[in-house]
Structure 1
Amino acid sequence: MDVRSLKEDPGLAGSIRELLNLTLSKDFVDRKFFRKITVEDPNFDPRFALACVEGGRVAAAALGVMRTKEPRQVVEQQKSVAWIKALAAVPEAREALKELVGILEGEFVREGKRQVRFSDYASWYLAPGVDLEYDWLLSLLIQSGFRKVGEAVNYEVDMSLFYYPERVKALASELHRRGINIRRASLGERELIGKWVEEKFSPFWRVELEMALAAEDGGVLAAESDGKIVGFSVYGALRPDFFGPIGVDPDARGGGIGTVLLFDTLTLMRGEGVRVATIPWTTHLTFYAQVPGVYRVRSFAVLAKNLP
């Protein structure tokens, strides 16, 4: 088996991306998104991006990662964990893919890792886990010793069916009456809002907020009350069609801020020309079910395996 890493043969990157698209039927990885989850990931190490080459083509690929740089606040906390963020293979090379998984596991053990996970790797991820419709991939990982440790869903919204309901307009008016203002944040507020998001939620969400502020086709909304931030929402962080994260201060929940942020942000995405919006990696099923145009819910299993 001819196994090469992107460190050894960086020219294989395009073929790996093509393989992801042609073998993972629910996923669509354009060049920009592929760069986001590989070379633009500050933790990316080309030694852990593996390809099996057969007959002059990439037949199987595995993208592994360890968190070594960002977010710096969690590097020490996650020092014993590694991730496989993507796996792909043509049907006749699935045994070769299993071998690639084993090679990655061996590399991670040598790096001192005690667990490998698939694929809840924030903030530069393809998917939050194994899509349950990829039954062959789920079976391959289970046979390799992985076990389910969590679950998540992606909502997909047909934006030709999306609209801003009257009930949400009434909520927005009520928020305005109560002195709660929802506005677009500027790049100059990156530190102010980013610090608030990190303190209230997580450093991962801060990373994605900063990505969106810097993106040409992304953005951030902030909800304010009495000059203080009480909520935020993001779009276009990893890719233009991605919504989120979104969060409201626990002390300000229950009054409609989250719902208005949700609909205002999706309206901005519609204005950007997003055809299908993805609300990724969530367990908040009822909150997002209120969005007109939801036409698909992808279910994922998060898997993990303890290493020797």
Structure 2
Amino acid sequence: MSDMLVKLYALPPVSPVLAAVENQGITIRRAMAPDKPRIVEWVKTHSSLSASGEADVCFSHTPISLFVATRGKEIVGYACYNATAPDFFGPTRVLDSEQGKQIGKALLLRSLHALHDEGYAYAIIGGVGPQQFYEKCVAATLIEDSKPGIYKDYLGAKE
């Protein structure tokens, strides 16, 4: 999977998307330290062992570089940034049963706006899965010859 580039200075506003998911009873918020064991386990179960390692790293940053989507106390999705490398977005995941409800878009925009607020002008979406989703949501563009990119020495097997 190739990487994609996003212009953080040209992001759409996050407020309308956050309002749309809040109307469905979903809260998007920055994770807190006490959330770590539950979130890392959820990521391991619903994403992969490698993604749980990346989520774990996010808790060592100040501020924590992971946003979580919840319905009450139930986790329905997450998004990491600055996990594999500085200025990288991902990994991210929304439960299959919750997809198509703008939760992924809200997590993406909240994370990318956080990167912008931290002073970055551009962000890299690493090892993109749904390319069209990122093109549509944030006008991301493919970075040529970026496969496998930073992941070339990755030790993990297919998960």
TM-score bucket of the superposed structures, by smaller chain: 0.7 to 0.9
Specify the code of the residue in structure 2 equivalent to 1:192.
Answer: R
Instruction: Give 1:161's match in structure 2, choosing from 1, 4, 10.
Output: 10
Pair 1:170-2:16 in alignment: yes
Aligned to 2:156: none
Q: Deviations over 1:17-37 (max 9, x none)?
A: xxxxxxxxxxxxxxxxxxxxx
2 CA distance for matches of 1:218 and 1:296? 27
Pair 1:258-2:73 in alignment: no
Instruction: Give 2:91's match in structure 1, choosing from 245, 252, 275.
Output: 245
CA contact (8 A) 1:217 1:236 kept: no
Q: Deviations over 1:179-230 (max 9, x none)?
A: 1111110122211100011011111111001111112365110100132000
Query: Are residues 205 and 255 of structure 1, via their aligned partners in 2, closer, same or farther at CA, if it must alter by over 3 Å?
Result: same
Percent identical residues? 26
Pair 1:280-2:126 in alignment: yes
Q: Deviations over 1:142-182 (max 9, x none)?
A: xxxxxxxxxx1100112222232xxx643322211221111
Moved more, 289-298 or 249-258: 289-298
The equivalences for 1:20-35 within 5 A come to none
Aligned to 2:39: 193
Higher RCO (CA 8 Å, separation ≥ 6 residues): 2
Query: Are residues 174 and 292 of structure 1, via their aligned partners in 2, closer, same or farther at CA, if it must alter by over 3 Å?
Result: closer
Query: Structure 1 residue 296: deviation in Å?
Result: 4.6
1 CA distance for matches of 2:144 and 2:137? 16
Specify the code of the residue in structure 2 equivalent to 1:204.
Answer: S
Give unpaired runs (5+ residues) of structure 2: 153-159
User: Could you say what the CA RMSD is over the residues aligned between the two structures, in angstroms?
Assistant: 2.1
Q: Deviations over 1:216-259 (max 9, x none)?
A: 36511010013200000001112220101110011211111001
Task: Please give the secondary structure, in 2, of the residue aligned with 1:216.
Answer: coil
Give unpaired runs (5+ residues) of structure 1: 1-151, 304-308
Task: Please give the secondary structure, in 2, of the residue aligned with 1:214.
Answer: coil
Query: Structure 1 residue 300: deviation in Å?
Result: 4.5
Aligned to 1:181: 27
For the pair shown, the structure with the greater C-alpha radius of gyration is 1
Instruction: Give 1:226's match in structure 2, choosing from 68, 72, 79.
Output: 72
Higher strand residue share: 1
1 CA distance for matches of 2:39 and 2:116? 24
Task: Please give the secondary structure, in 1, of the residue aligned with 2:2.
Answer: strand
2 CA distance for matches of 1:220 and 1:210? 9
1 CA distance for matches of 2:10 and 2:141? 9
CA contact (8 A) 2:3 2:147 kept: no
Instruction: Give 1:208's match in structure 2, choosing from 54, 62, 73.
Output: 54
Specify the code of the residue in structure 1 equivalent to 2:106.
Answer: V
Specify the code of the residue in structure 1 equivalent to 2:16.
Answer: A
> What TM-score comes out, normalization by structure 2 length?
0.83
